[in-house]
Structure 1
Amino acid sequence: MSIFSKIIAGEIPAYVVAESNDFLAFLDINPLAKGHVLVIPKKEVDYLFDMDDELYAGLQLFAKIVAKGLKQAVPCIKVGVVVIGLEVPHAHIHLIPVNRVDDINFSRPKLTFSPEEYAEVAASIKEALRD
């Protein structure tokens, strides 16, 4: 069972920003930027392109919705989209607020926020998604 499946099952806490029957979006705890979100299918599939077409399309549409709320909640030029798939064996999409290309550099040090800061950002994104 992947760490993401444990988050889905409620065994590991997460700063959830959006959820549907099939998908979950939550803050990355090792973010590249304030508001860095991970979007995952609730069904555990290791490789993004191993998902069936319906699940794949649904994940992309869910990520699009989350990205719109993220951009409204965290000022940025665009929301970058990255799929690497090596760090956790559960398909996921990174949504990262970006203002320059280097904002999506996974080699640079990750940011750290307090639990209160994570909770505040998550609440801001949730609120933006309600609009």
Structure 2
Amino acid sequence: MTIFTKIIKGEIPSYKIAENEHFYAFLDIFPLMKGHTLVIPKVETDKFFDVSDDLLREWLVFAKPIAKAIEQVVPCNRVGVSVVGLEVPHAHIHLIPINSVQDMDFSRGKLKLSAEEFKAIQEQIVAQL
């Protein structure tokens, strides 16, 4: 069982943004930018392109309003989408508010936010959904 499955099951706490029967979205606790959100399928699949075609379609439709909400909360040029998949063997996409391509550089240092900052961002994004 991956750490993401434990988050979905509530065994590990998260700053949940949205959830339905197939997907779960939550703030990345090691964000590149404020509002950096992970969107994961509830089915545990290691590789992004091993997910079924139907689930891939639904995934982007689920993520779209979340990206729009992030844009309303975090000052940015747009929300970038990244699929890396090396950190956790559970397919996931990153929604990252960006102003330049450098904002999506995973090799740079991550932000260190307090629990209060995470909670405030979570509440603001959820309020826009």
Superposition TM-score, scaled by structure 2 size = 0.98
Q: What is the alpha-carbon distance in structure 1 between the residues aligned to residue 52 and residue 100 of structure 2? A: 34
Moved over 3 A (4+): none
Counterpart for residue 81 of structure 1: 81
Counterpart for residue 99 of structure 1: 99
* Percent identity of equivalent pairs: 57
For residue 103 of structure 1, give the secondary structure of its aligned residue in structure 2: helix
| Aligned AA (2:73) | A
Q: What is the alpha-carbon distance in structure 1 between the residues aligned to residue 127 and residue 73 of structure 2? A: 8
Q: For structure 2, which runs of at least 5 residues remain unmatched after alignment?
A: none
For residue 96 of structure 1, give the secondary structure of its aligned residue in structure 2: strand
CA-CA distance at 1:90 after TM superposition: 0.5
CA-CA distance at 1:61 after TM superposition: 1.1
Q: What is the alpha-carbon distance in structure 2 between the residues aligned to residue 40 and residue 76 of structure 1? A: 23
Q: What is the alpha-carbon distance in structure 2 between the residues aligned to residue 85 and residue 107 of structure 1? A: 14
Deviation readout 1:95-118 (Å, 9 max, x if unpaired): 000011110101100001000100
Alignment partner of 1:18 is 2:18: yes
For residue 58 of structure 2, give the secondary structure of its aligned residue in structure 1: helix
Count of aligned residue pairs for this structure pair: 129
Please provide the CA RMSD for this pair.
Answer: 0.7
Counterpart for residue 69 of structure 1: 69
| Aligned AA (2:97) | P
Q: For structure 1, which runs of at least 5 residues remain unmatched after alignment?
A: none
| Aligned AA (1:121) | I
For residue 86 of structure 1, give the secondary structure of its aligned residue in structure 2: coil
